[in-house]
Chains A and B, each alone.
Chain A
Amino acid sequence: MKKLGIIKDWVKEESKILVLGSGEGEILKILGGEKKTHGFGIDIDEEKVFQAISQGLSVIQGDINKDLSDYPKKSFDYVIAHDIIQIMNNPDKTLKKCLEIGNKVIVSFPNFAYIKIRLYIMLSGRMPKTKLLPYEWYNTPNIHLFTIKDFKELCAKEKIKIISERFSGFGKKEIPGFLIPNIFAEFAYFLIE
């Protein structure tokens, strides 16, 4: 499952954060409350942005694919890309932009090599549907699914430094790193710079 607790652990008190796909402001509110962060958000959905601004949050209605380059370089302590990088047009470009505007970037994503997904494809011969990936192949927003191994390869290629990595799977449990995450982790968290 997706755990915000891991993100909370990584974000330092009173830091300046940008949340990509901030929605109605859940992460901004939690981190603002518990970590006293100075938070900003960007989301494309008018209704969600309306809900966020109505609660007094600083959110811009915009397109992450295009609008990240307007922020000054290194203007955030953390850019948080929680469960969103796989829906971007060019996840690699978005990642690079995040690293430009943020000192550190927190990326989280569903691991497509998770054992249940592997078995689903193998046994049913169809695109997998899980709690985290509930869509049909034709209406999924997740247009760039990838695995933990894929992500690490990209980081190596782009010389992105992985500071920390944590995983979750089998319900809400955190999976220790020695348990072959690329098989047993349903969801992965990376702190990179």
Chain B
Amino acid sequence: MDKKVKLNSNNSVGIVKTKFFNFAEKPDELILSNGIKLGPITIAYETYGELNSKKSNAILVFHALSGDSHAAGYNSPDDTKPGWWDIMIGPGKPFDTKKFFVICANVIGGCKGSTGPASINPETGKPFGLAFPVVSIKDMLIPQKKLLEHLGIKKLFCIGGGSMGGMQALQWLVTYPGTTQGAMLIATSPTHTAQAIAFNSVGRFAIISDPNWNNGNYYGMEIPKIGLSIARMIGHITYLSEESMHKKFGRESIKVANSPLANFIREFEVESYLQHQGESFIKRFDANSYLYISKAIDDFDITDGYNNLSEAFQNIKAKCLVISFTSDWLYPKEQSMQIVKALKINGIETTYTNFEAEYGHDSFLIEDERLKKLFAGFLSSLGTASGE
């Protein structure tokens, strides 16, 4: 897209700057679920729109496995792509930045500015690597809660996210009841299924089998490119649907131009697409972060510490929107329906639809006018974020 066109477009938040929040300095380190101390911690975050005087119009969105704090707009005029939820965040969009103050933070364990395995370990002066403590979805929320306190926000207007973002939203409802009016739980699950764990574990095997991985000590050296790109390729397959892949690629193939056997060797378009996905991923993501975050997803179980799902939800106060996608086979509708059932049992105001979408698990990231209307309708039902 033309630079000027994209930046002047009236429904983009335009150029945004990633901000950083530091906390958990010694001796006030963060104590993780497993008892290990971590600190100091840096959290990368972005905000869009203006916080009103009563601080009642804040929406916290959570990113998924490969996401980051850059949810909307562009960090520089040279960026080719906007933030990961730019379709939803901006003036006139469902998370309307003329009305709401939208916040997105990179999770700990990540690699986009928040403290993670690639950060410098203060004990050694070298990158953590595998010395970085294992973090859970619940642990990822603590820095985000601290960030809200830092911004002076006591109660959120809404929280929301898809996939791992939905897990964070669900965990937020359970861990911090009464701190948000609404919650959007999209393409998510109360716990990871064996099938979903299996796919993640193949991705992790690919990374740790790459000789360059070197037990996680590859910083400043050759990175485990092949392992990480295979992990991304497997992940990407699980995020799409059979139907969308068929429509996009079918059985089309292209000649492999650089080969002397060009007339014989053809590559399916879906193959080169996946290779491209893998290759672009290794430029922006850290292999160790992939291990830590995918493990946190696999370990997630919202019923931890409770006897069952409805007991876990007993203190939830927020109005909830639950969405599954018809073509999502990684997080099928039955998992969303378990959430809905437990919310209903607790008498929590709940809205649910198994949304018609053809793009599989990733459907929440794809431009869709109906989905936008659904988001906007739900947000309107939470009332107005009054208090200018």
Where the two chains meet, the residues of A that have a C-beta atom closer than 8 Å to any C-beta of B are: 40, 46-47, 49-50, 53-62, 67, 70-72, 75
Q: How far is the CA of A50 from the CA of B321 in the complex (A)?
A: 12
How far apart are A56's CB and chain B's nearest CB, in angstroms? Answer: 4
How far apart are B357's CB and chain A's nearest CB, in angstroms? Answer: 10
> Which of B337, B356, B377 interacts with A55 by CB under 8 Å?
B377
Q: How far is the CA of A71 from the CA of B344 in the complex (A)?
A: 5
Which of B340, B353, B354, B374 gathers most chain A CB within 10 Å?
A: B353
Are A50's CB and B378's CB within 8 A?
no
Are A70's CB and B344's CB within 8 A?
yes
Are B353's CB and A61's CB within 8 A?
yes
Q: How far is the CA of A54 from the CA of B368 in the complex (A)?
A: 13
| B347 close to A (CB within 8 Å) | yes
Q: Which residues of A contact B340 (CB under 8 A)?
A: 60, 62, 70
Q: Which residues of B contact A72 (CB under 8 A)?
A: 345-347
How far apart are B99's CB and chain A's nearest CB, in angstroms? Answer: 15
Are B319's CB and A54's CB within 8 A?
no
Are A61's CB and B352's CB within 8 A?
yes
> Which of A50, A56, A59 interacts with B370 by CB under 8 Å?
A50
Q: How far is the CA of A33 from the CA of B374 in the complex (A)?
A: 21
Are B374's CB and A56's CB within 8 A?
no
| B373 close to A (CB within 8 Å) | yes
Q: Which residues of B contact A50 (CB under 8 A)?
A: 353, 355, 370, 373-374
Q: How far is the CA of A12 from the CA of B326 in the complex (A)?
A: 38
Q: Which residues of B contact A59 (CB under 8 A)?
A: 351, 353
Known: A50-B370, A70-B345, A75-B347. A56 touches B381 (CB 8 A): yes
How far apart are A98's CB and chain B's nearest CB, in angstroms? Answer: 15
Known: A58-B319, A60-B340. A53 touches B347 (CB 8 A): no
Q: Which residues of A contact B319 (CB under 8 A)?
A: 58
Are A54's CB and B352's CB within 8 A?
no
Task: Specify the chain B residue showing the minimal Cβ separation from A56.
Answer: B381
Q: Which residues of B contact A70 (CB under 8 A)?
A: 340-341, 344-345
Q: Which residues of B contact A46 (CB under 8 A)?
A: 326, 353-356
Q: How far is the CA of A40 from the CA of B376 in the complex (A)?
A: 18
How far apart are A74's CB and chain B's nearest CB, in angstroms? Answer: 11
> Which of B352, B376, B381 interacts with A62 by CB under 8 Å?
B352
| B303 close to A (CB within 8 Å) | no
Complex interface residues of chain B between 335 and 388 (CB less than 8 A to chain A): 337, 340-341, 344-347, 349-356, 370, 373-374, 376-378, 380-381
Q: How far is the CA of A50 from the CA of B374 in the complex (A)?
A: 7
Q: How far is the CA of A46 from the CA of B352 in the complex (A)?
A: 10
> Which of A56, A60, A61, A71 interacts with B378 by CB under 8 Å?
A56
Known: A60-B344, A70-B345. A49 touches B353 (CB 8 A): yes
Q: Which residues of A contact B345 (CB under 8 A)?
A: 70-72
Are B377's CB and A58's CB within 8 A?
no
Q: Which residues of B contact A67 (CB under 8 A)?
A: 341
Q: A46-B355, A72-B345 are in contact. List 20 more A-B contacts (CB 8 A).
A: A46-B356, A47-B356, A49-B353, A50-B373, A53-B321, A53-B374, A54-B374, A54-B376, A55-B377, A56-B377, A56-B380, A57-B377, A59-B353, A60-B352, A61-B353, A62-B340, A62-B352, A67-B341, A70-B341, A71-B345
Q: How far is the CA of A70 from the CA of B326 in the complex (A)?
A: 23
Which of A53, A62, A70, A75 gathers most chain B CB within 10 Å?
A: A53
Are B354's CB and A61's CB within 8 A?
yes
Are A60's CB and B351's CB within 8 A?
yes
Q: How far is the CA of A46 from the CA of B357 in the complex (A)?
A: 11
Complex interface residues of chain B between 114 and 149 (CB less than 8 A to chain A): none
Q: How far is the CA of A71 from the CA of B355 in the complex (A)?
A: 23
Task: Specify the chain A residue showing the minimal Cβ separation from B319.
Answer: A58
Q: Which residues of A contact B377 (CB under 8 A)?
A: 53-57
